[in-house]
């Protein structure tokens, strides 16, 4: 081999070469085609939700519900188009994709052309089905963005949203290292009160799997080997809010802000004026989010933190109907059916006219609506009591508390667990509603 | 102004109703809470209740009860109404709307398939009789009727409304029927009877039938004690009074108390005061104070000093019912069975397990100055005296109650051993197919939280026996036949016959060869076909429980005690039902009687074929089979028809 008179492995040489490689290359997230091809007339609702089925029926659109076979007798009794499927408990997302082939084949036979997820765990199933329907595996990967919290935060970070620093962790040692490094940056490693960090499960809904770590001892006492893998994140200080954003063709059709009056217990729609004041700021962030996540169709439920400096930080985002009866609250004050709007926004075939008929243009609320989730507090319960002053309060709307069918209550110690009933409030004074939503946290509705 | 408010409430209710009416059948549940809430607001005044009553047909048809326990009114049980009314929240509101629907049906305003006017009326009469405390609320009882403020007001308003629409006279009749049905069975636990009598007392001031008034007065007297000297005397005063009485006067008191006790099975507190006194000072009057039979007198005489000891230790005011148990125990002559006296004596001094002690002491109010051993002795006296008065209380433990009853009748020594084991060691063991099962090693049975309104012996034994029973069931599963085939003989002992026949094919869950089942039962049990073999020990059988409309409610365990001709010459099956239910109506005209057909107190009875139509499994002696073929086809067909049209509706029938 002839020797050249030039050093080819020098820094200057490689660097210049690498820079040339960047030229003319498509960088950043892969944009995918979100349009629904002209095949299959039906929409498949993945998961059982009576209000969604009612909305579908009401809009008179062809559909089929895909859910566990336990619902089959009821569906048959009431002529609900139904396909029984056992989603099982897949151990990783790839397993969902593999198993979805069978479901896809059967749904195609039933003339299904599009899938809409109802619950957190059905987001990837819908993604897998839509990927197959569009013959584009990236559609499945895209749905995981809304499920895998690390992937989600990374994507938000790349897209220019403000996020806390975070890391994926495999064991307690890594949590410890992260805790130290974060506090080192904050110069708080020798402080009596280091800043807390948050540990989260990678793909659970709501508060399930969430632990706050205030010290290294907490790592030992609050986490077990079963907690891993997980995600650790620096603490974001500020007000936590959620949004419900109805999106069609990449545009915001309606944006609701929900105030978490007491996280895990109570929500209020619309929020107090102090919070509503941030709407322009929030809209701006949501638009960034839509860009960053390449969202064209659907309803997203992001959570943000608003800091004392009026900066908006991204917490997380879900691609499903929110919990805590938020949709019922939206329906109460905005006078449209969000369950229907959700389905319309998820379907690329929905026309502008349909949307306009269903979703209001203006954000004009009739008072404030609040929901208070009631959990059992005693170990054994046999009856319901409603505080008389609550029931006779002018802002009391209704409750859904029945005598419990089980008398023994076992706290799962994971998340806030299932609530047994809900109290709904409605009135004009947001402060009054907030007060009522906080007053009864320690009240025994079930005794 | 007020009127305006009300119409707006009615309008609001109607509006919610319309929304519910217009929605799809599957989505009704989404609107139920709205309609119920609007209804609750109407329940705050009388006009509102009337309005709801008028709209009963509409709200039921709209789907307010859909997919809820109130959906099918023919399946509702009057005795469950109270629980739902007191449950609070939407449960109470649904229950109240259900009652208003029943009123509409009873009044003929609402013609509904499945429930006739008469059925609705008798349902409501029973509901009112069972909830007479709500009908006549007293200030002092406010705390007892759970549910405060609005809910309590609504409930009381509802019962005022019921009283308006239905007559009180029919309720007093119903109530007397309920009480006399309970009393006829002479249960050990009389809390429910005492409660009902206390409520019935309030009816004495109302316009009711004379015969009802007389019956109620008798019950009140039995509980309060209205002898010559005890009237208006509390126990302390009475104790002082009798100290100065001559023997003749004491005898009159004894006689008077004993008479009402024997008539009703209820014991007055002052009766206990008297018995404890004469036990010390005039033991010769004991036979009089207990009104013993000749056999009882002989038994008393033979074991007088032991009985005196028993009275000292086991007959106390808070546990006064054991006095009736003592009288019955002496009448049975059970003390002459050799293991009984040493078995009972052991309990006097038994070193109780701490848990046992706690449970026993909790069963009475504190500050009574009675030891846990005394409570247990009182319980033992009752169980040995009233083997057919043992009840399961509010627990699903019919099998265990049945066992205690059987052992009390036929193996009192064994029963006393079990009691001592459980009370001292916190354990009971049993050998099943060569392996020993210890209750202390077992986690749970059918019931994990025992409802404690039980006699002391059951309180101690049931948790152990229940766990063992469940373990036996667990070990006998998947053997291709009904588990009771193995469980019953092992659990109850050698008194249970080894032959076994069930109506449900365990592999398919369907009813196969029903005629064969009926014939085998007739051939082994009916005196016309079984070659005259008498039933020697109670036969633990399984039955289908059906409600007044013949609808299947579930399975239940009872024991056939004997089979005999009743006064009219009809062959009847006399059985022990551990649930001590006073008003049993199983539909299709099948109503077990508890008195009037020669029943021994505690027995229920039915004509032979009616009982067979509810039978689900039985044991028989393989060596004592009669002529099953000889049973007339008409009888088999009659039984099959009754079965098919009641519980059988929910089963698949297979022709072999």
Q: What residues of B are in contact with residue A391 (Cβ under 8 Å)?
A: 150
The pLDDT of residue B140 is above 60: no
Of B149-153, B189-193, B328-332, B567-571, where does mean pLDDT reach its minimum?
Answer: B149-153
Nearest-CA distance B65 → chain A (Å): 13
Written in H, E and C, the secondary structure of A73-113 is HHHHHCCCCEEECCCCCCCCHHHHHHHHHHHHHHHHHCCEE
Nearest-CA distance B80 → chain A (Å): 13
Q: Quick one: B205 and B144 in the same domain?
A: no
Condensed to tens digits (0 to 9), the pLDDT of residues B621-635 reads: 999 888 999 999 999
Helix (H, G, I), strand (E, B) or coil at B163: helix
Nearest-CA distance B33 → chain A (Å): 6
The pLDDT of residue A244 is above 70: yes
Nearest-CA distance A399 → chain B (Å): 7
Q: Looking at chain B from residue 613 to 642, which residues have their Cβ under 8 Å from any Cβ of chain A?
A: none
CA nearest B563: which of B594, B522, B601, B602?
A: B522
The contacts of residue B435 (CB under 8 Å, 6+ apart) are none
Report residue A317 as tokens: 């985002």
Q: What residues of B are in contact with residue A57 (Cβ under 8 Å)?
A: 24
Q: Which of B24, B27, B87 lies closest to A384 in CB terms?
A: B87
What span, in angstroms and rounded, lies between the C-alpha atoms of B391 and B189?
Answer: 8
User: Which superfamily, per CATH, for A165-234?
Assistant: ATP-grasp fold, A domain (3.30.1490.20)
**Higher pLDDT among residues B142 and B356, named by residue:** B356
* Contact assignment for A399 to B33 by CB distance below 8 Å: yes
What span, in angstroms and rounded, lies between the C-alpha atoms of B288 and A82?
Answer: 76
Condensed to tens digits (0 to 9), the pLDDT of residues B335-354 reads: 999 999 999 999 999 999 99
Pair A425, A372: CB distance under 8 Å: yes
- pLDDT bucket at B473, cuts 50 / 70 / 90: very high
**Domains A42-144 and A239-439 agree in fold:** no
DSSP B293-310: -HHHHHHHHHTHHHHHHH
* Contact assignment for A399 to B90 by CB distance below 8 Å: yes
pLDDT of residue B3: 46
Condensed to tens digits (0 to 9), the pLDDT of residues A422-433 reads: 999 999 999 999
Report residue B572 as tokens: 């009847």
Condensed to tens digits (0 to 9), the pLDDT of residues A75-114 reads: 999 999 999 999 998 888 999 999 999 999 999 999 999 9
- Residue B217 within a domain: yes
Q: Which of B29, B33, B150 lies closest to A391 in CB terms?
A: B150
Q: Pick A42-144's CATH classification: 3.40.50.720, 3.40.50.2000, 1.10.760.10, 3.40.50.300.
A: 3.40.50.2000
Buried b (16+ CB within 10 A) or exposed e, B152-176: bebbebbbebbeebbeeebbbbbbb
* Contact assignment for B449 to A380 by CB distance below 8 Å: yes
Helices B149-165/B117-130 angle, 10° precision: 130
Pair B536, B620: CB distance under 8 Å: no
Q: What own/partner pairs with CB < 8 Å and gap ≥ 24 does B643-650 have?
A: B643/B514, B643/B613, B643/B614, B645/B550, B645/B588, B646/B544, B646/B546, B646/B550, B646/B551, B646/B552, B646/B586, B646/B587, B646/B588, B646/B613, B646/B614, B647/B544, B647/B546, B647/B550, B647/B552, B647/B614, B648/B511, B649/B551, B649/B552, B650/B552
- Residue B572 within a domain: yes
The pLDDT of residue A375 is above 80: yes
Pair A32, A140: CB distance under 8 Å: no
Q: Looking at chain A from residue 65 to 94, which residues have their Cβ under 8 Å from any Cβ of chain B?
A: 74-75, 77-78, 80
Helices (H), A294-368: 326-334, 338-346, 352-358
The contacts of residue A260 (CB under 8 Å, 6+ apart) are A240, A241, A242, A266, A267
Q: What residues of B are in contact with residue A401 (Cβ under 8 Å)?
A: 88-90
Helices B46-54/B89-106 angle, 10° precision: 60
Q: Are strands B511-512 and B653-654 parallel, antiparallel or unpaired?
A: parallel
Half-sphere exposure of A346 (CA within 13 A, CB side): 28
The contacts of residue B93 (CB under 8 Å, 6+ apart) are B36, B37, B39, B40, B43
* Contact assignment for B87 to A380 by CB distance below 8 Å: no
The pLDDT of residue B6 is above 70: no
Domain range summary for chain A, segments of one domain joined by +: 42-144, 165-234, 239-439
| % chain B with pLDDT above 90 | 70
Q: What own/partner pairs with CB < 8 Å and gap ≥ 24 does B194-200 have?
A: B194/B223, B194/B266, B195/B133, B196/B132, B197/B223, B198/B223, B199/B132, B199/B133, B199/B136, B199/B175, B200/B132, B200/B172, B200/B175, B200/B176
* Contact assignment for A382 to B87 by CB distance below 8 Å: yes
Q: Which of A75, A398, A407 lies closest to B33 in CB terms?
A: A398
Q: What residues of A are in contact with residue B37 (Cβ under 8 Å)?
A: 397-399
Give the single-character DSSP code of A370: E
Helix (H, G, I), strand (E, B) or coil at A136: coil
* Contact assignment for A388 to B150 by CB distance below 8 Å: yes
* Domain hosting residue B204, numbered range: 176-224
The pLDDT of residue A4 is above 70: no
Torsion of the alpha carbons at A241, A244, A250 and A251, rounded to the nearest 10:
-90
Sign for the CA dihedral angle at B458, B461, B464, B467 comes to: negative
* Contact assignment for B86 to A383 by CB distance below 8 Å: yes
- Distances from the Cα of B398 to the Cα of A269, B133, B352, B541, angstroms: 53, 29, 26, 11
Q: Quick one: B61 and B190 in the same domain?
A: no
User: Left (φ > 0), alpha (ψ -120 to 50) or beta: where does B420 sit?
Assistant: alpha
Q: Quick one: B527 and B583 in the same domain?
A: yes
Nearest chain B residue to A384 by CA: give it: B88
> What number of C-beta contacts closer than 8 Å exist between A and B?
75
- Residue B291 within a domain: no
CA nearest A368: which of A444, A280, A270?
A: A270
* Contact assignment for B449 to A407 by CB distance below 8 Å: yes
Nearest chain B residue to A381 by CA: give it: B87
Phi, psi of B618 (to 5 degrees): -150, 160
Q: Quick one: B118 and B149 in the same domain?
A: yes
What span, in angstroms and rounded, lies between the C-alpha atoms of B601 and A5?
Answer: 120
Q: Which of B24, B26, B87 lies closest to A383 in CB terms?
A: B87
- Report ipTM for this prediction: 0.87
Q: Which of B86, B88, B146 lies closest to A386 in CB terms?
A: B88
Helices (H), A249-325: 273-276, 279-293
* Contact assignment for B24 to A383 by CB distance below 8 Å: no
A340 vs B: CB within 8 A: no
A386 vs B: CB within 8 A: yes
Helix (H, G, I), strand (E, B) or coil at B653: strand
Pair B578, B619: CB distance under 8 Å: no
B394 vs A: CB within 8 A: no
* Contact assignment for A399 to B27 by CB distance below 8 Å: no
Q: What residues of A are in contact with residue B91 (Cβ under 8 Å)?
A: 383-384, 402-403
Pair B39, B6: CB distance under 8 Å: no
B66 vs A: CB within 8 A: no
The pLDDT of residue B548 is above 80: no
CA nearest B95: which of B39, B137, B136?
A: B39
CA nearest B264: which of B297, B217, B300?
A: B217
A363 vs B: CB within 8 A: no
Written in H, E and C, the secondary structure of B362-399 is HCCCCCCCCCHHHHHHHHHHHHHHCHHHCCCCCCCCHH
Q: What residues of B are in contact with residue A72 (Cβ under 8 Å)?
A: none
* Contact assignment for A398 to B37 by CB distance below 8 Å: yes
pLDDT of residue B149: 66
Q: What residues of B are in contact with residue A374 (Cβ under 8 Å)?
A: none
Average pLDDT over residues A171-191: 92
Q: Looking at chain B from residue 123 to 162, which residues have their Cβ under 8 Å from any Cβ of chain A?
A: 146-151
- Residue B23 within a domain: yes
Condensed to tens digits (0 to 9), the pLDDT of residues B272-294 reads: 999 999 999 999 999 999 999 99
Of the residues B184, B203, B224, the one at which a domain ends? B224
| % chain A with pLDDT above 70 | 95
- Distances from the Cα of B647 to the Cα of A425, B75, B277, B553, angstroms: 46, 12, 55, 8
Instruction: Give bridge partners of residue A372 from the DSSP assignment.
Output: A266, A423
- Residue B506 within a domain: yes
B15 vs A: CB within 8 A: no
CATH number of A239-439: 3.30.470.20
- Distances from the Cα of A206 to the Cα of A67, A119, A150, A338, A417, angstroms: 22, 12, 15, 20, 10
pLDDT of residue B141: 36
The contacts of residue A188 (CB under 8 Å, 6+ apart) are A194, A195
pLDDT of residue B139: 45
Torsion of the alpha carbons at A364, A368, A369 and A373, rounded to the nearest 10:
140
Helix (H, G, I), strand (E, B) or coil at B97: helix
Q: Quick one: B48 and B185 in the same domain?
A: no
Q: Which of B27, B84, B89 lies closest to A386 in CB terms?
A: B89
A380 vs B: CB within 8 A: yes
What span, in angstroms and rounded, lies between the C-alpha atoms of B75 and B550?
Answer: 9
The pLDDT of residue A412 is above 70: no
Nearest-CA distance B91 → chain A (Å): 5
Indicate the average pLDDT of chain A. Answer: 90
* Contact assignment for A399 to B86 by CB distance below 8 Å: no
The pLDDT of residue B265 is above 70: yes
B37 vs A: CB within 8 A: yes
Nearest-CA distance A145 → chain B (Å): 32
Q: Looking at chain B from residue 438 to 467, which residues have their Cβ under 8 Å from any Cβ of chain A?
A: 448-449
Pair B541, B615: CB distance under 8 Å: yes
How many helices and strands (H and E) does chain A possess?
Answer: 16, 16
Q: Quick one: B72 and B212 in the same domain?
A: no
Report residue B350 as tokens: 């038994």
A423 vs B: CB within 8 A: no
The contacts of residue B57 (CB under 8 Å, 6+ apart) are B101, B104, B109, B110, B112
- Residue B632 within a domain: yes
- Residue B282 within a domain: no
What span, in angstroms and rounded, lies between the C-alpha atoms of B316 and B318?
Answer: 6
Sign for the CA dihedral angle at A425, A427, A429, A432 comes to: negative
Give the single-character DSSP code of B629: G
pLDDT of residue B655: 73
**Higher pLDDT among residues A8 and B566, named by residue:** B566
Indicate the average pLDDT of chain B. Answer: 90
How long is chain A? 447
Total number of domains constituting chain B: 3
* Contact assignment for B86 to A388 by CB distance below 8 Å: no
* Contact assignment for A401 to B89 by CB distance below 8 Å: yes
pLDDT of residue B480: 84
DSSP B177-242: HHHHHHHHT--S--HHHHHHHHHHHHHTTS---HHHHHHHHHHHHHHH---TTTTT--HHHHHHHH
B89 vs A: CB within 8 A: yes
- Residue B410 within a domain: no
CA nearest B257: which of B230, B219, B235?
A: B230
pLDDT of residue A312: 94
């Amino acid at each position: 081999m002839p020797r050249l008179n030039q050093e080819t492995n020098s820094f200057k040489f490689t660097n210049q070469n690498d820079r040339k490689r960047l030229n003319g290359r498509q960088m950043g997230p892969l944009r995918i085609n979100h349009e629904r091809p002209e095949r299959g007339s039906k929409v498949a609702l993945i998961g059982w939700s009576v209000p969604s089925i009612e909305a579908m029926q009401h809009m008179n659109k062809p559909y089929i519900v895909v859910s566990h076979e336990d619902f089959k007798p009821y569906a048959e009794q009431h002529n609900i188009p139904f396909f029984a499927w056992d989603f099982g408990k897949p151990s990783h997302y790839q397993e969902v994709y593999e198993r979805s082939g069978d479901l896809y084949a059967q749904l195609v036979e039933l003339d299904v052309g599009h899938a809409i997820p109802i619950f957190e765990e059905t987001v990837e199933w819908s993604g897998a089905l839509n990927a197959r329907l569009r013959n584009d595996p990236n559609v499945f990967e895209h749905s995981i963005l809304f499920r895998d919290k690390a992937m989600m935060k990374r994507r938000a970070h790349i897209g220019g949203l403000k996020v806390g620093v975070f890391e994926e962790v495999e064991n307690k040692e890594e949590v410890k290292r992260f805790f130290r490094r974060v506090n080192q940056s904050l110069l708080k490693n020798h402080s009596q009160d280091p800043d807390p960090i948050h540990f989260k499960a990678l793909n659970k809904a709501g508060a399930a799997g969430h632990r706050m770590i205030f010290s290294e001892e907490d790592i030992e006492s609050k986490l077990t080997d079963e907690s891993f893998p997980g995600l650790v994140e620096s603490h974001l200080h500020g007000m936590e809010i959620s949004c419900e954003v109805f999106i069609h063709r990449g545009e915001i059709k309606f944006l609701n802000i929900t105030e978490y009056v007491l996280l895990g217990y109570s929500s209020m729609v619309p929020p107090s004026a102090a919070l509503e004041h941030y709407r322009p700021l929030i809209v701006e962030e949501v638009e960034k989010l839509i860009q960053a996540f390449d969202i064209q169709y659907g309803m997203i439920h992001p959570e943000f933190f608003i800091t004392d400096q009026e900066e908006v930080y991204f917490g997380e985002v879900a691609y499903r109907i929110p919990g805590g009866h938020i949709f019922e609250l939206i329906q109460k004050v905005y006078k449209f059916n969000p369950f229907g709007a959700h389905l319309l926004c998820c379907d690329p075939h929905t026309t502008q006219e349909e949307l306009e008929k269903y979703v209001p243009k203006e954000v004009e609320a009739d008072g404030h609506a609040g929901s208070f989730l009631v959990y059992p507090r005693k170990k054994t319960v046999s009856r319901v009591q409603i505080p008389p002053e609550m029931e006779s309060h002018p802002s009391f709307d209704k409750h859904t508390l029945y005598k419990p069918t089980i008398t023994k209550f076992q706290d799962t110690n994971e998340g806030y667990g299932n609530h047994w009933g809900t109290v709904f409030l409605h009135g004009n004074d947001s402060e009054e509603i907030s007060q009522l939503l906080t007053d009864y946290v320690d009240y025994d509705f079930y005794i | 102004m007020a009127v305006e408010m009300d119409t707006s409430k009615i309008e609001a209710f109607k509006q919610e109703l319309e929304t519910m009416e217009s929605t799809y059948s599957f989505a009704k549940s989404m609107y139920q809470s709205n309609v119920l809430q609007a209804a609750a607001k109407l329940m705050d005044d009388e006009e509102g209740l009337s309005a709801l009553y008028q709209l009963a047909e509409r709200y039921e048809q709209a789907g307010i009860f859909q997919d809820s326990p109130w959906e099918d009114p023919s399946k509702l049980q009057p005795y469950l109404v109270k629980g739902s009314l007191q449950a609070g929240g939407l449960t109470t509101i649904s229950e109240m709307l259900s009652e208003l629907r029943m009123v509409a049906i009873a009044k003929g305003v609402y013609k509904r398939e499945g429930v006739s006017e008469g059925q609705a009326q008798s349902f409501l009469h029973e509901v009112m009789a069972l909830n007479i405390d709500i009908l006549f609320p007293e200030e002092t009882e406010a705390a007892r009727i759970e549910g405060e403020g609005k809910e309590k007001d609504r409930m009381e308003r509802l019962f005022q409304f019921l009283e308006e629409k239905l007559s009180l006279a029919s309720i007093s009749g119903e109530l007397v029927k309920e009480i006399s049905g309970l009393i006829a069975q002479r249960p050990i636990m009389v809390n429910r009877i005492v409660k009902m009598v206390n409520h019935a007392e309030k009816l004495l001031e109302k316009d009711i039938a004379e015969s009802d008034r007389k019956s109620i007065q008798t019950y009140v007297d039995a509980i309060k004690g209205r002898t010559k000297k005890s009237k208006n005397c509390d126990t302390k005063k009475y104790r002082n009074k009798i100290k100065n009485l001559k023997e003749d006067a004491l005898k009159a008191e004894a006689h008077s108390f004993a008479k009402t006790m024997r008539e009703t099975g209820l014991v007055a507190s002052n009766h206990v005061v008297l018995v404890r006194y004469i036990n010390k000072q005039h033991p010769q009057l004991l036979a009089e104070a207990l009104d013993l039979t000749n056999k009882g007198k002989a038994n008393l005489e033979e074991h007088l000093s032991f009985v005196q000891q028993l009275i000292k230790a086991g007959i106390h005011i808070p546990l006064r019912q054991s006095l009736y148990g003592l009288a019955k125990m002496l009448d049975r002559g059970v003390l002459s069975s050799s293991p009984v006296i040493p078995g009972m004596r052991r309990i006097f001094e038994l070193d109780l397990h701490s848990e046992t002690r706690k449970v026993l002491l909790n069963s009475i109010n504190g500050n009574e100055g009675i030891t846990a051993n005394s409570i247990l002795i009182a319980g033992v006296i009752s169980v040995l005296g009233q083997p057919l008065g043992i009840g399961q209380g509010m627990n699903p433990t019919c099998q265990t109650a049945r066992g205690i009853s059987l052992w009390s009748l036929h193996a009192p020594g064994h029963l006393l051993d079990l009691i001592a084991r459980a009370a001292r060691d916190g354990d009971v063991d049993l050998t099943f197919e060569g392996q020993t099962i210890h209750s202390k090693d077992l986690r749970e049975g059918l019931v994990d939280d025992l409802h404690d309104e039980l006699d002391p012996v059951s309180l101690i034994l049931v948790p152990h026996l229940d766990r063992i029973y469940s373990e036996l069931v667990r070990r006998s599963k998947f053997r291709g036949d009904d588990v009771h085939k193995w469980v019953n003989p092992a659990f109850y002992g050698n008194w249970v016959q080894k032959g076994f026949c069930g109506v449900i094919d365990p592999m398919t869950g369907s009813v196969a060869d029903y005629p064969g089942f009926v014939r085998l039962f007739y051939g082994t049990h009916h005196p016309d076909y079984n070659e005259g073999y008498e039933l020697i020990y109670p036969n633990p059988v399984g039955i289908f429980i059906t409600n007044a409309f013949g609808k299947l409610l579930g399975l239940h365990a009872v024991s056939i005690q004997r089979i005999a001709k009743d006064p009219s010459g009809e062959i009847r099956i006399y059985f022990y039902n551990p649930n001590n239910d006073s008003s049993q109506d199983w539909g299709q005209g099948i109503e077990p009687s508890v008195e009037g057909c020669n029943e021994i107190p505690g027995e229920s009875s039915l004509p032979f074929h009616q009982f067979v139509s509810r039978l689900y499994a039985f044991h028989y002696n393989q060596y004592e089979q009669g002529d099953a073929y000889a049973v007339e086809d008409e009888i088999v067909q009659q039984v099959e028809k009754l079965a098919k049209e009641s519980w059988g509706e929910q089963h698949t029938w297979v022709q072999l």
